[in-house]
Amino acid sequence: MKTVLVTGVAGFIGSNLTSALLEKGYRVVGVDNFDDTYATHFKEVQIAPFADNGNYVLYRIDVCDAPALKAVFEKERPVYVVHLAAKVDTRSAVTMPHLYIAVNIEGTLTILELSREYAVENLVIASSSSVYGNSENVPWTEDETADRPLSPYGATKRAAELLAYAYHHNFGIHITCLRYFNAYGENNRPTMVPYLWTEKLLRGEEIEISGEGSRKRDYTYVGDIVQATLLAMEKPLGFEIINVGNNTPVSLTELLATLEKIVGTKAKVKSRPSHSASVEVTYANIDKAKKLLGWEPETSLEEGLTRLVSWFRANRLEER
């Protein structure tokens, strides 16, 4: 049985990945500090199903705490590491850049150091479509320079990729950086648009739409993101950066229309100004993921949103 160390295990993608890893017969060593980007009780609920699984262990530690993390590597000797822990909000990164640099860059550096020291067979690092900023060369390919991020968040994700390359170059570690695009689905982060609008629609509350609603996002179902992550983890490739997106951007207006159809109500809509760190469009070229990982998304927006709505009804409707 192979051991996988997953940082950010209690989060949106981390909890979905952990379910899939345990189902596939891996042993999962989870690391999370339950940071306050959103309500920590959601994270507790997300990991609750794993508590009784003998192949799962959780360490409540900060990825910036190098001695504590080293002790975990020493004890658990992971074969693979999937590094998802991060400060994740593009807007708050504009006002709290130091914190983003500490967690997303220095925290990643600690993971790189320990992966080297403990000879991890393959390291997967969560990067983001934010590295592309407002580049007009859509659909974006991985060979873009990606040197104009709009938010310090994107800058930290790009910096982490660059550090990862240097570690691969000097120490020969296998590292794949996955640039995730706009995940949505079960255990959705409650600050993201698909979640917020599902909540408002189901509660009959007003929805805020940024600008004219023409901004487009390449919404990607979390189950598809998990599949890409598993494939990347199981296939050491030297060093690669790979887009993981849906390759089908939709406007905010189209997203809302699809949600309205699924929920069966019309939204009350209020327009609000767009944030300066918000990009116009996200759009992944996924040829590289197809070629190197044999991956492509399988879940249509309507199907994925239907799952999000059902999950929300079953798990969050009673919450306030």
Q: Which residues bind ligand NAD (CB under 6 A)?
A: 7-8, 10-14, 31-35, 37, 43, 62-64, 84-88, 103, 107, 126, 128, 180, 182-183, 189
* Given 153, 180, 195, 221, the catalytic residue: 153
What CA–CA distances, in Å, run from 294 to 50, 65, 287, 319? 29, 36, 10, 39
Closest CA to 176 of 89, 282, 287, 289: 289
| Least distance in angstroms from the C-beta of 203 to ligand NAD | 22
Q: Which is nearer to ligand NAD, 107 or 133 (CB)?
A: 107
| Least distance in angstroms from the C-beta of 192 to ligand NAD | 7
| Least distance in angstroms from the C-beta of 22 to ligand NAD | 17
| Least distance in angstroms from the C-beta of 13 to ligand NAD | 4
Give CA–CA dist 292/239, Å, rounded: 12
Taking each helix axis from N to C terminus, what angle separates 252-263 and 301-315, rounded to the nearest 10 degrees? 60
Query: Which residue sits closest to ligand NAD, CB atoms considered?
Result: 11
Q: Which is nearer to ligand NAD, 141 or 269 (CB)?
A: 141
Q: Which is nearer to ligand NAD, 21 or 84 (CB)?
A: 84
| Least distance in angstroms from the C-beta of 175 to ligand NAD | 14
Q: Which is nearer to ligand NAD, 66 or 257 (CB)?
A: 66
Q: Which is nearer to ligand NAD, 3 or 37 (CB)?
A: 37
Residues 6+ away with beta carbon under 8 Å from 133: 146, 148, 149, 150, 154, 279
Q: What is the 3-state secondary structure (H, E, C) of 60-112?
A: CCCCCCHHHHHHHHHHHCCCEEEECCCCCCHHHHHHCHHHHHHHHHHHHHHHH
Q: Using the 8-state DSSP alphabet, how is residue 247 labeled?
A: S
Measured between its terminal Cα atoms, the distance across the chain in Å is: 41
- Burial label for 98, CB within 10 Å (0-12, 13-18, 19+), is exposed
Give CA–CA dist 76/28, Å, rounded: 10
Q: Using the 8-state DSSP alphabet, how is residue 129 labeled?
A: G
Q: Which is nearer to ligand NAD, 16 or 258 (CB)?
A: 16
Q: Is-catalytic flag, 153?
A: yes
Alpha-carbon torsion 37, 38, 40, 44, what sign?
A: negative
CB 207 within 8 A of CB 156: no
Give CA–CA dist 208/127, Å, rounded: 28
| Least distance in angstroms from the C-beta of 268 to ligand NAD | 26
Q: What positions carry a catalytic annotation?
A: 153
